[in-house]
Amino acid sequence: MQSENIQLEKNNFIATILLNRPEKLNSVTPEMAGALSEAAAEVNADPAIRVVVLTGAGPKSFCAGSDIKELDSYNTPWEFRNRPDYCDTIRAIRKPIICAVNGYCLGGGLEMAMTCDIRIASANAIFGAPEIKLGWVGGGGMAFALAHSIGPSNAAMMLYTGDPVDAKKALSWGLISEVMAIEGLVTRACEIASVVAQRAPIAAQTAKINLRAAYSMTREDAIQYERDLQTICFATDDAAEGRRAFKERRNPTFLGK
Protein backbone atom coordinates (compact mmCIF):
# COMPACT_ATOMS: atom_id res chain seq x y z
CA MET A 1 0.00 0.00 0.00
CA GLN A 2 1.41 3.38 -1.03
CA SER A 3 -0.31 6.71 -0.42
CA GLU A 4 0.97 10.05 0.73
CA ASN A 5 -2.23 10.72 2.63
CA ILE A 6 -2.64 7.31 4.29
CA GLN A 7 0.46 5.84 5.91
CA LEU A 8 0.79 2.38 7.43
CA GLU A 9 3.63 1.42 9.76
CA LYS A 10 4.18 -1.89 11.55
CA ASN A 11 6.23 -2.46 14.68
CA ASN A 12 6.12 -5.02 17.51
CA PHE A 13 2.71 -6.49 16.63
CA ILE A 14 1.23 -2.97 16.26
CA ALA A 15 0.11 -1.33 13.02
CA THR A 16 -0.22 2.45 13.02
CA ILE A 17 -2.53 3.97 10.41
CA LEU A 18 -1.92 7.69 9.96
CA LEU A 19 -4.32 10.05 8.21
CA ASN A 20 -1.77 12.35 6.64
CA ARG A 21 -3.44 15.41 5.16
CA PRO A 22 -2.98 17.96 7.93
CA GLU A 23 -3.27 20.99 5.64
CA LYS A 24 -6.92 19.95 5.07
CA LEU A 25 -7.55 18.81 8.66
CA ASN A 26 -7.10 15.21 7.48
CA SER A 27 -10.43 15.30 5.64
CA VAL A 28 -10.92 12.17 3.58
CA THR A 29 -10.93 12.09 -0.22
CA PRO A 30 -12.07 9.12 -2.37
CA GLU A 31 -8.40 8.31 -2.98
CA MET A 32 -7.81 8.18 0.78
CA ALA A 33 -10.86 5.97 1.23
CA GLY A 34 -9.36 3.55 -1.26
CA ALA A 35 -5.99 3.60 0.48
CA LEU A 36 -7.66 2.98 3.83
CA SER A 37 -9.36 -0.07 2.34
CA GLU A 38 -5.98 -1.38 1.22
CA ALA A 39 -4.48 -0.72 4.65
CA ALA A 40 -7.35 -2.52 6.38
CA ALA A 41 -6.97 -5.54 4.11
CA GLU A 42 -3.22 -5.63 4.79
CA VAL A 43 -3.76 -5.44 8.55
CA ASN A 44 -6.33 -8.24 8.48
CA ALA A 45 -4.10 -10.47 6.35
CA ASP A 46 -0.95 -10.05 8.44
CA PRO A 47 -0.82 -12.46 11.42
CA ALA A 48 2.06 -10.45 12.87
CA ILE A 49 -0.33 -7.53 13.48
CA ARG A 50 -2.35 -7.93 16.67
CA VAL A 51 -3.61 -4.39 17.31
CA VAL A 52 -4.01 -1.12 15.40
CA VAL A 53 -3.49 2.53 16.36
CA LEU A 54 -5.41 5.03 14.25
CA THR A 55 -4.55 8.74 14.41
CA GLY A 56 -4.21 11.90 12.36
CA ALA A 57 -1.18 13.98 11.39
CA GLY A 58 -0.58 17.35 13.00
CA PRO A 59 -1.88 18.95 16.20
CA LYS A 60 -5.07 20.44 14.80
CA SER A 61 -7.18 17.54 13.61
CA PHE A 62 -7.72 13.81 13.77
CA CYS A 63 -10.19 13.96 10.89
CA ALA A 64 -12.75 16.56 9.80
CA GLY A 65 -14.76 13.96 7.89
CA SER A 66 -15.18 13.78 4.14
CA ASP A 67 -13.69 16.50 1.98
CA ILE A 68 -16.85 18.52 1.21
CA LYS A 69 -15.42 19.77 -2.08
CA GLU A 70 -15.19 16.19 -3.33
CA LEU A 71 -18.85 15.37 -2.67
CA ASP A 72 -20.06 17.13 -5.82
CA SER A 73 -17.94 14.78 -7.93
CA TYR A 74 -20.61 12.07 -7.65
CA ASN A 75 -22.91 12.14 -10.68
CA THR A 76 -26.04 10.86 -8.95
CA PRO A 77 -27.34 10.33 -5.42
CA TRP A 78 -27.20 6.59 -6.09
CA GLU A 79 -23.51 6.82 -6.97
CA PHE A 80 -22.99 8.74 -3.73
CA ARG A 81 -24.95 6.09 -1.83
CA ASN A 82 -22.75 3.28 -3.15
CA ARG A 83 -19.38 4.98 -2.75
CA PRO A 84 -16.68 3.12 -0.77
CA ASP A 85 -17.25 4.14 2.86
CA TYR A 86 -14.16 4.62 5.00
CA CYS A 87 -16.10 3.98 8.20
CA ASP A 88 -17.09 0.55 6.86
CA THR A 89 -13.43 0.00 6.04
CA ILE A 90 -12.28 0.65 9.60
CA ARG A 91 -15.21 -1.35 10.96
CA ALA A 92 -14.04 -4.34 8.88
CA ILE A 93 -10.68 -4.51 10.67
CA ARG A 94 -10.78 -7.64 12.83
CA LYS A 95 -7.97 -6.61 15.18
CA PRO A 96 -8.60 -4.32 18.17
CA ILE A 97 -8.22 -0.63 17.29
CA ILE A 98 -7.13 2.24 19.55
CA CYS A 99 -8.03 5.67 18.20
CA ALA A 100 -5.87 8.63 19.26
CA VAL A 101 -7.97 11.74 18.62
CA ASN A 102 -5.86 14.85 18.16
CA GLY A 103 -7.91 18.02 17.63
CA TYR A 104 -10.99 18.13 15.42
CA CYS A 105 -13.02 14.93 15.19
CA LEU A 106 -16.00 15.88 13.06
CA GLY A 107 -18.63 14.23 10.88
CA GLY A 108 -17.19 11.17 9.21
CA GLY A 109 -14.12 11.60 11.41
CA LEU A 110 -16.29 11.11 14.48
CA GLU A 111 -17.99 8.13 12.86
CA MET A 112 -14.60 6.64 12.06
CA ALA A 113 -13.36 7.19 15.62
CA MET A 114 -16.47 5.50 16.99
CA THR A 115 -15.89 2.42 14.86
CA CYS A 116 -12.70 1.96 16.88
CA ASP A 117 -12.70 -0.05 20.09
CA ILE A 118 -10.89 2.34 22.45
CA ARG A 119 -10.77 6.11 22.07
CA ILE A 120 -8.41 8.48 23.83
CA ALA A 121 -8.04 12.18 23.08
CA SER A 122 -5.85 15.22 23.47
CA ALA A 123 -7.06 18.08 25.64
CA ASN A 124 -7.71 20.19 22.52
CA ALA A 125 -9.97 17.57 20.91
CA ILE A 126 -13.33 18.72 19.57
CA PHE A 127 -16.09 16.25 18.71
CA GLY A 128 -19.04 17.08 16.50
CA ALA A 129 -21.72 15.86 14.11
CA PRO A 130 -22.12 19.03 12.03
CA GLU A 131 -23.85 17.47 9.01
CA ILE A 132 -27.24 18.92 9.96
CA LYS A 133 -25.78 22.41 9.52
CA LEU A 134 -25.13 21.55 5.87
CA GLY A 135 -28.48 19.93 5.20
CA TRP A 136 -27.89 16.23 5.72
CA VAL A 137 -27.14 13.64 8.42
CA GLY A 138 -24.28 11.25 8.96
CA GLY A 139 -24.28 7.98 7.02
CA GLY A 140 -21.53 5.92 8.60
CA GLY A 141 -23.33 4.77 11.72
CA MET A 142 -23.39 8.11 13.53
CA ALA A 143 -26.75 7.80 15.33
CA PHE A 144 -26.23 4.17 16.36
CA ALA A 145 -22.74 4.79 17.69
CA LEU A 146 -23.60 7.98 19.57
CA ALA A 147 -26.75 6.53 21.13
CA HIS A 148 -24.82 3.51 22.40
CA SER A 149 -21.81 5.45 23.66
CA ILE A 150 -23.29 8.61 25.21
CA GLY A 151 -26.99 7.84 25.54
CA PRO A 152 -29.99 8.99 23.48
CA SER A 153 -30.37 12.45 25.01
CA ASN A 154 -26.74 13.44 24.59
CA ALA A 155 -26.76 11.89 21.11
CA ALA A 156 -29.81 13.96 20.21
CA MET A 157 -28.08 17.10 21.48
CA MET A 158 -25.15 16.51 19.13
CA LEU A 159 -27.19 15.31 16.16
CA TYR A 160 -29.97 17.92 16.26
CA THR A 161 -27.83 20.99 16.94
CA GLY A 162 -24.65 20.00 15.11
CA ASP A 163 -22.75 21.83 17.84
CA PRO A 164 -19.42 20.36 19.02
CA VAL A 165 -18.37 19.21 22.48
CA ASP A 166 -14.91 19.50 23.98
CA ALA A 167 -12.73 16.71 25.34
CA LYS A 168 -13.81 17.29 28.94
CA LYS A 169 -17.48 16.83 28.14
CA ALA A 170 -16.74 13.91 25.80
CA LEU A 171 -14.94 12.19 28.67
CA SER A 172 -17.80 12.80 31.10
CA TRP A 173 -20.28 11.41 28.55
CA GLY A 174 -18.22 8.28 27.92
CA LEU A 175 -17.38 9.09 24.33
CA ILE A 176 -13.67 8.69 25.14
CA SER A 177 -11.73 6.88 27.86
CA GLU A 178 -8.84 9.26 28.60
CA VAL A 179 -7.74 12.86 27.99
CA MET A 180 -4.13 14.03 28.01
CA ALA A 181 -1.70 16.54 26.57
CA ILE A 182 -1.32 16.16 22.84
CA GLU A 183 2.43 15.58 23.17
CA GLY A 184 1.86 12.23 24.87
CA LEU A 185 -1.24 11.11 22.98
CA VAL A 186 0.22 8.68 20.45
CA THR A 187 2.69 7.37 23.03
CA ARG A 188 -0.21 6.57 25.35
CA ALA A 189 -2.14 4.93 22.51
CA CYS A 190 0.87 2.75 21.76
CA GLU A 191 1.17 1.86 25.45
CA ILE A 192 -2.40 0.60 25.44
CA ALA A 193 -1.79 -1.19 22.15
CA SER A 194 1.31 -2.88 23.60
CA VAL A 195 -0.73 -4.27 26.47
CA VAL A 196 -3.39 -5.62 24.10
CA ALA A 197 -0.68 -7.05 21.83
CA GLN A 198 0.60 -9.17 24.74
CA ARG A 199 -2.75 -10.91 25.06
CA ALA A 200 -3.80 -13.97 23.07
CA PRO A 201 -4.58 -12.69 19.53
CA ILE A 202 -7.50 -15.04 18.90
CA ALA A 203 -9.02 -14.17 22.27
CA ALA A 204 -8.59 -10.44 21.62
CA GLN A 205 -10.31 -10.64 18.24
CA THR A 206 -13.03 -12.84 19.73
CA ALA A 207 -13.58 -10.33 22.52
CA LYS A 208 -14.11 -7.67 19.84
CA ILE A 209 -16.66 -9.86 18.04
CA ASN A 210 -18.39 -10.59 21.33
CA LEU A 211 -18.62 -6.95 22.37
CA ARG A 212 -20.09 -5.88 19.03
CA ALA A 213 -22.61 -8.71 19.04
CA ALA A 214 -23.77 -7.74 22.53
CA TYR A 215 -25.13 -4.45 21.13
CA SER A 216 -27.85 -6.20 19.16
CA MET A 217 -28.70 -9.29 21.19
CA THR A 218 -31.02 -10.01 24.07
CA ARG A 219 -29.29 -10.74 27.36
CA GLU A 220 -30.00 -14.47 27.08
CA ASP A 221 -28.73 -14.69 23.50
CA ALA A 222 -25.65 -12.63 24.34
CA ILE A 223 -24.73 -14.91 27.25
CA GLN A 224 -25.16 -18.04 25.13
CA TYR A 225 -23.15 -16.53 22.27
CA GLU A 226 -20.40 -15.52 24.68
CA ARG A 227 -20.31 -19.03 26.10
CA ASP A 228 -19.91 -20.47 22.61
CA LEU A 229 -17.09 -18.03 21.84
CA GLN A 230 -15.43 -18.95 25.13
CA THR A 231 -15.53 -22.61 24.14
CA ILE A 232 -13.89 -21.84 20.79
CA CYS A 233 -11.11 -19.86 22.48
CA PHE A 234 -10.66 -22.54 25.14
CA ALA A 235 -9.81 -25.05 22.41
CA THR A 236 -6.89 -22.99 21.03
CA ASP A 237 -3.20 -23.65 21.60
CA ASP A 238 -2.94 -20.19 23.17
CA ALA A 239 -5.48 -21.10 25.83
CA ALA A 240 -3.51 -24.25 26.63
CA GLU A 241 -0.37 -22.12 26.84
CA GLY A 242 -2.16 -19.73 29.18
CA ARG A 243 -3.08 -22.57 31.53
CA ARG A 244 0.45 -23.96 31.45
CA ALA A 245 1.95 -20.54 32.16
CA PHE A 246 -0.42 -20.03 35.09
CA LYS A 247 0.60 -23.36 36.62
CA GLU A 248 4.29 -22.64 36.00
CA ARG A 249 4.01 -19.07 37.33
CA ARG A 250 5.42 -17.43 34.20
CA ASN A 251 4.21 -15.08 31.51
CA PRO A 252 2.55 -16.89 28.61
CA THR A 253 3.89 -16.79 25.07
CA PHE A 254 0.95 -16.49 22.71
CA LEU A 255 1.32 -17.41 19.05
CA GLY A 256 -2.17 -16.81 17.72
CA LYS A 257 -2.95 -20.51 17.27
Give catalytic status of residue 131 as yes or no.
yes
Catalytic residue among 111, 226, 241, 248: 111
Judging by DSSP bridges, how do beta strands 104-106 and 126-128 pair with one another? Answer: parallel
- Maximum Cα–Cα distance for the chain, whole Å? 64
Catalytic residue among 23, 131, 191, 248: 131
Phi, psi of 142 (to 5 degrees): -55, -55
Give catalytic status of residue 248 as yes or no.
no
Residues serving a catalytic function are: 111, 131
